[in-house]
Structure 1
Amino acid sequence: MAVVTMRQLLESGVHFGHQTRRWNPKMKRFIFTERNGIYIVDLQQSLSYIDRAYEFVKETVAHGGTILFVGTKKQAQEPVAEQAARVGMPYVNQRWLGGMLTNFQTVNKRLQRLKELEEIDFDDVAGSAFTKKELLIMRREKDKLSRTLGGIRDMAKVPSAVWIVDTNKEHLAVDEARKLGIPVVAILDTNCDPDLVDYQIPGNDDAIRAVTLLTRVIADAAAEGLIARHSGRSAASEGSAETPAEPLAEWEQELLTGKDAAATEGTAQAEPETAAPAAEAPAAAQPEAEVAESPAAEVAETEAPAVEAPATGQDAAPAAATEGVAEPAAADKPAN
């Protein structure tokens, strides 16, 4: 099933570009035609590029990565915040602060400051160790930090990829991502430079419906990647021996390597235990051999006395009578 249909792209106005006098010649290969002084984007190419970006985002999230959603223009602020929050990804929908990626250590300190201010109860003046003026100043500081850094509050490290709406307006984010080697996924209008983006999606970056549709597609890819990640963890925790079709991430390889090492140690411990009973087995077999040999000797002993065994019972009486009769007959016989 296709990620998005041609009809959805047409209804959202993804095919509308900028005026012909406002264009980047590098976007010529993505332009289908010109109509009423406006360029029309080739949606057939857009569909293929959407599928490519979708697979990349899904694989990145499935292997433990995060996607940073960036869209500070008015048309993109609400869709970016809504879709990123839906899948638990960081986002920037207000002003992009310089160094948000290249100087993340300093930005992270401001995030820690924001978390400290969030723990303060500004309404309880008597219970706090601050004056009203100090609380007012800290409240304003918290509001400012929440507005600019609230979307990346839980981002502990530099993201694995960046989703950008309008690369011309977000040129600072594009430059920082390229310096750090972070892949960039972005909507490319007819006035953008495709060489700055790793995963291009030709389309309209000015219409609210177009921005909402494409941002939702990227969020759906992230959601599918999260599902794949959690299913992989549950399978690993159950000790499943199935080999995944997708390449394993570093954290997955370490997890599986640790399990293999534990299994090897368990086998090594089990081998001495099985070897000990095996060593005791000959000792137990010796009595069986003696028992097997003893009946043969007893049979030989019982066969020998069987010939000399005296008669008993009724058989002995006739024998004695016969002897008694025979002996007198021999005595009464006259000698010649």
Structure 2
Amino acid sequence: MNYIKKNLTDIFIFFILVSVTFLHYLYHFQISLLNFYHLPIMISGYLLGRRLAILYAFFTVLLVWVFILANQSIYHALQDQFQFKIDLTLWGGFLILSGWAGSLSENLRAELRTSDRLRVELAQDKNNLKELNDKLNEANELLAEKVAQRTKELEESHEELKQLSWTDPLTGLFNRRSCEERFQNEINRFKRTQKSFSIILSDIDHFKKINDNYGHNMGDQVLVETARIIKNYSRKTDMVFRWGGEEFLFILTGTEINGGVIVGEKIRRSIEENEFLYNGNNVPVTMSFGVSVYEEGQTMEECIAVADENLYKAKRTGRNRVVSDQIQ
């Protein structure tokens, strides 16, 4: 039953063709030899354009059956008077023409349907493309935000690492490695403003004895406390470096030699008066200072060498003092 429903059109066509064939052989109309080809002609019409071929074939068979079954005398009378005859070849030709027309019509409708479908698909593709483009833009914005955030984190991490690489972990002061860049900045400032800056190189007196007598933990405590006192007597613009084991270097911006000596003396006195306790007992600690002022044309090494020479003089003349050969 399902097969009949699915192939109803083909069955109806088969019925028409068989009916025309039987009519042709049961009733001997006046026909030509070409009429024997009516079956393939009708099939050709059906294949070229199914719908119109069905319509023409149906009316062809219907007309023949009306003439023959209703009243054959009418058919013979018309045939005798008007030389009327049913030429199946003619009807086959009609079927071919109708089939061709039906084929064009179906092709045109198919193209129109395809065109409509393509327009709909194109509109859908445009919408999909717009959605994808919006999602891509959102993804790009999110990626840009993440990249910017990550870049900021990397810069912050780099700055932290830079600070760590420039900072002495025990005292929190700048280390010797970071001095060169800052010293060059001060030289550039001097070239622009012609304002001098002073250098102080200091050393804790008899620091080795402190380590030997009280241990390295006490020595570290002395270094940390000394760094704290130095920070208290330094301006925000000044820079203090842990230059070596117990040595400290000061860069005093915009400060002449007399000002450098004054700062050194304040720090010397404060350290001398400070209590460095070990098991409840005060450990006496003093420092010696060598001061120099930057002179035009000097390199960092040359300027520090002058301060180092003055520090050596302070050590030779009894320690716990500030020495400079450039006092005005």
Q: Scaled by the length of structure 1, what TM-score is found? A: 0.31
Give the structure with the higher percent helix: 2
When Rg is computed on C-alpha atoms for both structures, the one with the higher figure is 2
Q: Which has the higher contact order (CA 8 A, sep 6+)?
A: 1
**TM-score where L is the length of structure 2:** 0.32
